[in-house]
Amino acid sequence: MGMTMTQKILAAHAGLDHVEAGQFIEAKLDAVLANDITGPVAIKNLPGMNADKVFDKDRVYLVPDHFTPNKDIKAAEQCKIVREFARNQELSNYFEVGRVGIEHALLPEQGLVTAGDVVIGADSHTCTYGALGAFSTGMGSTDIAAGMARGISWFKVPSAIKFVLTGKPSKWVSGKDVILHIIGMIGVEGARYKSMEFTGDGLEHLSMASRLTMANMAIEAGAKNGIFDVDQITLDYLAEREKRRPVVYKADDDAEYDETYVIDLSEIKPTVAFPHLPENTRTIDEVGEVKIDQAVIGSCTNGNIDDMGTAAEILKDRKVDDNVRCIIIPGTQHIYLECIERGWAEIFIKAGAVFSTPTCGPCLGGHMGILAAGERAVSTTNRNFVGRMGHVDSEVYLASPAVAAASAVLGRIAGPDEL
């Protein structure tokens, strides 16, 4: 029996000719990632592993992004632990305020992950890098400490679900709509500990930003990882940022999949996930009258330059509704600067939005946009659990940047075609 993309990558990093679903292996790591919340826990666990030094100062990445710029004393202390560790270990890839970005937007931009890599991170959305043809997954802080110390981690080889994408999406449909459609179809446990593998001729119509969004949200279907076929779009993206040569793995023709779904992208409509699960999806024509108090455009899921461009296109020469707080957060400092250079920052501000330095902030109910009881937000973030963005009696509706921007203008959840 042949192997899937994920299985081939894991086999190569385990030094094996073949692996099968359910097999336990130890595999070499190309990168280990942590942030200002999870990093301190991993760092405190290192002494118990008899490790004075990380396995490779160039392969351990620390990105304080969740509560930065520091929102309070506790956040400042967390970042101090990470900062001092990075200095003591002489880490090459520590990204402090001024160089910072939201970790899963920053690493692809910096060329720190490439096709064929095995990456673990102490954040569930580490699966983002599957858009680049890498195997990447989130782990607990103790496993991350072991990875930092040894450069090796254990894995249970996942089985896989194949998604064959065909057709071309319509104007306002992006990767966010596609992944919400899929999660609505299979549920938040539909891919539990499986690899979601995306292929098909429809990939040529999905930008890298859309692919990063989709891989990012594989975890919201319970997946171990999401991964895309490497094509010319991927290779062109990597070539502009390349620090290491990509290694491309293709699934065998006789690879075994638990299920196969064929999805026609031309049939997908703008999609919204209602509270309090990403699987509670409705197409934009099924939403009804849902007034909002806040719109958030950004996060590791939708803070890329394409997402900013969509928001700017919709908000240009328009005004945010007087009863809506619109918060726009680019994924990295580079994207922030590009928004300024392209005139988009001016569009956002003139529209009545707040334009923030990169931070995870409101996504996890950290800062920069906490919801009070009874408030509703439409957000391009990745989770809408109870209390995710603030009070347990608030509500979060997940949507694309196009829907979030249009909703900010109209004061209710709506698609751009209603403007």
Q: Give 358-387 as a DSSP string.
A: S--GGGGTSSSSPBPTT-EEEESSS---TT
Q: Please give the class, per CATH, of domain 271-414.
A: alpha beta
Identify the pLDDT of residue 68: 84
Q: Give 330-346 as a DSSP string.
A: -SBHHHHHHHHHTTHHH
Q: Give the tens place of pLDDT for each residue, 173-207.
A: 999 999 999 999 999 999 999 999 999 999 999 99
Identify the pLDDT of residue 65: 86
Q: What is the mean pLDDT of each run of 10 residues along the chain (419 residues)?
A: 95 96 97 93 86 92 90 92 94 89 94 96 95 96 93 96 97 96 95 96 96 96 97 94 89 96 97 95 95 96 96 97 96 96 97 93 86 96 91 96 98 94
3-state secondary structure of 110: coil
Q: Do domains 5-264 and 271-414 have the same CATH topology?
A: yes
Identify the pLDDT of residue 175: 96
Q: Which residue has the tokens 């040569």?
A: 245
Q: Pseudo-torsion of CA 101, 55, 113, 307, nearest 10°? A: -20
Q: Give the tens place of pLDDT for each residue, 56-98.
A: 999 999 999 898 888 899 989 999 999 999 999 999 999 988 8
Identify the pLDDT of residue 134: 97
> What 3 state SS string does 262-326 have?
EEEHHHCCCEEECCCCCCCEEEHHHCCCCECCEEEEEHHHHCCHHHHHHHHHHHCCCCCCCCCEE
Q: What is the mean pLDDT of the chain?
A: 94
Please state the length of the chain. Answer: 419
Domain ranges of the chain: 5-264, 271-414
Identify the pLDDT of residue 7: 97
CATH no. for 5-264: 3.30.499.10
Q: Helix %, strand %, coil % for the chain, to 5?
A: 40, 20, 40
Identify the pLDDT of residue 1: 80
- pTM, two decimals, is 0.94
